[in-house]
Amino acid sequence: MIEVILLAVALSMDAFAVSIGLGAKTDQKSAGKLAIQAGLWFGLFQGIMPLIGYLAGHGLLGWVEAWASWIAFALLLLIGGKMVFESFSEGVEEEIAIITHRVMMMLAIATSIDAMAAGFTLTLLDVNAWLACLIIAATTFMFSWAGVYIGQRSGTWLESKAELFGGIVLILIGFKMLLF
């Protein structure tokens, strides 16, 4: 279960980083609404995408079972490496002028695509995938909600650090799945 919690925290770091950036662009009176909105959008998509990855991976597991640990390792290494790389670049929220539901949906999809690939790794863990996805969704909701307030109060200085942390954790989980 500790792997699921670590996976949830690591996967939520993309949404957390974007929420910090969004929060830095908002005023105090609209931060509450934006925090709930970010939590719901990001939490929903971060919960659904790993489930899709799990179901697809579960269907393929019989064909790739001998290589499943290597595939999970490669996926987590790629996702984590991408997050580490992105931690050194500007966030997409810099270009957003107005935060609409459409914008939030696009950001939620963009930040959760990685979670679909990471969902494959749930096939290798001895956990209930539905519960794991619920934990991922709830964790992402909390981090996204908090990220808006953190960004609103302190700006974007923590944004890249969150993505870097999430990427490193995913890489470490990948090594653990390969070696143990």
Q: Number of folded domains in the chain?
A: 1
Domain span including residue 137:
2-179
Q: Which amino acid is at 71?
A: I
Query: What's the rounded Cα separation, in Å, for the pair 85 and 80?
Result: 9
Using CA of residue 162, residue 163, residue 167, residue 173, what is the dihedral sign?
positive
Model confidence, pTM: 0.83
Distance CA 68, CA 60 (A): 9
Q: Which of 11, 112, 119 is nearest to 55 (CA)?
A: 119
* Separation of alpha carbons 81 and 94, rounded Å: 22
Eight-class DSSP state of 98 = S
For residue 2, what are the CA distances in angstroms to 125, 146, 164, 173? 11, 22, 20, 11
Q: What's the pLDDT at 93?
A: 54
Burial profile 63-84: b = 16 or more Cβ within 10 angstroms, e = fewer: eeeeebbebbbebbbebbeebb
pLDDT at residue number 111: 86
Give the pLDDT of the chain (180 residues) as one tens digit per residue: 888 999 999 999 989 998 998 998 888 888 999 999 999 999 999 999 999 999 988 777 677 777 878 888 888 899 889 889 988 876 655 566 678 899 899 989 988 988 888 888 888 888 899 999 999 999 999 999 999 999 998 887 787 888 889 989 989 988 987 787
